[in-house]
Chains A and B, each alone.
Chain A
């Protein structure tokens, strides 16, 4: 597909798919608790409702920052996800590489944090500081895993080159070498924290600090924040499925040439990744304390990612 067309249709497609993913996640979560659960289209209803509500800016907030940050968060994560999707769609890497996508996704949570801390609510500030510590905990292993992938694949940071490298290998990157398997494991372990779901939802603990930095956001601002979160979760799962585990190549040339089939395989795979790294932990686990989460991330994923770098530097 032409790169310009791919980039044009990507943002609405990303928005639709990521909201659908969130709906599926909520449905599976409910079914795992033996509930009927909301319909799969529930996130759309939520957004329509939120956009039609009143805008309230608290008098304690610094209004400009409070108002603009959700927009920046939504725009930035939408941009990151559509760069990723349009890279897969167009089959050429003209627009951006892995570092840009990771930066945009991190940027969207930073924007939400800043907006929340500008709300003047003490819980917002608590959420800000907790998110800060969490980002230090999970972003470092995640970035090391990405760097390890970049070294391990031909070396390149362009998403499309990594996909092509996997096709030329005939294997998903995670299955190709031990160092890449470790990098993939690190990335998947960092997913629940990046999506801030239950074992690691410390920054926005609902029953503890009442959504942290989202506490004063209501109506359209909250809708934008929800979009930012849903889209960045989807982008992370799609990134994992495209960069580490590009499965369509296992089904041979015919599948690879057909864009529709390979893309839908990719999406089904990211749905599976979402189920394993987001839905299951948030259903079966309980919230950790910030110290425990920090310890976990600097014990297991950090060691995994550093050993992945070491292994890939000795050629394994």
Chain B
């Protein structure tokens, strides 16, 4: 697939990963050259980027946004919190990591991951799912 449109959901992230996602769209890295667009509505999206360890408040919202994306869709967990829950694992306020709630196609670890890593993760997830 040559036009993965990306919806970004922050589920209690510290904003570090979110800034790196935006950085991946800046002229230096330019994800749009792969056809990626950062869209504002889950209805338009193909790729769901989840950052953060999924707090209890965000749990129903995460599921709802996931269901609002039309099939076929890809979920990418960005950052160590989303991938493994890292320092917040076991907290009673945290329901994550993301793959405990929705199926995840790619994990991008790092705190925060570099924009190159995010670009690679998105492209690999899309390639493996759509071929």
- Taking Cβ atoms with an 8 Å cutoff, the residues of A that contact B are 30, 33-39, 42, 45-46, 49, 53-56, 206-207, 210-211, 214-219, 222
Contact = CB atoms under 8 A, between A and B. Distances in A.
B35 A45 contact: yes
B70 A55 contact: yes
Given A53-B72, A54-B71, A35 B33 contact: yes
B27 interface: yes
Given A30-B32, A35-B30, A46 B3 contact: yes
A42 B41 CA distance: 20
B3 A49 contact: yes
Interface in B31-63: 32-35, 39-41, 43-44, 46
B71 A53 contact: yes
Contacts of A35: 27, 30, 32-33
B2 interface: yes
A33 B27 contact: yes
Given A38-B35, A46-B35, A211 B30 contact: no
A225 B2 CA distance: 20
B40 A49 contact: no
8 contacts: A49-B2, A49-B3, A206-B39, A210-B41, A211-B39, A211-B44, A214-B44, A222-B43
A53 B70 contact: yes
A215 B30 contact: no
B30 A36 contact: yes
Contact of A37 (B33, B68, B69): B33
Given A36-B33, A42-B35, A49-B2, A54 B70 contact: yes
A54 B43 CA distance: 10
A54 B46 CA distance: 11
A211 B35 contact: no
Nearest to B130: A49
Residue among A34, A37, A56, A214 with the highest chain B CB neighbour number at 10 A: A56
A41 B43 CA distance: 23
Contacts of B68: 56
Interface string B66-90: 0011111000000000000000000
Contacts of A214: 41, 44
The 3 closest A-B pairs by CB, nearest first: A218-B43, A210-B40, A54-B70
Interface in B1-18: 1-3
A55 B71 CA distance: 9
A54 B71 CA distance: 5
Contacts of B41: 210-211, 214-216, 218
A222 B44 contact: yes
A206 B35 CA distance: 18
A27 to B, nearest CB: 10
B32 A56 contact: no
Given A35-B32, A38-B33, A53-B72, 4 more contacts: A35-B30, A206-B40, A215-B41, A217-B44
Contacts of B40: 206-207, 210-211, 215
Contacts of A215: 40-41, 43
A206 B46 CA distance: 17
Contacts of A39: 35
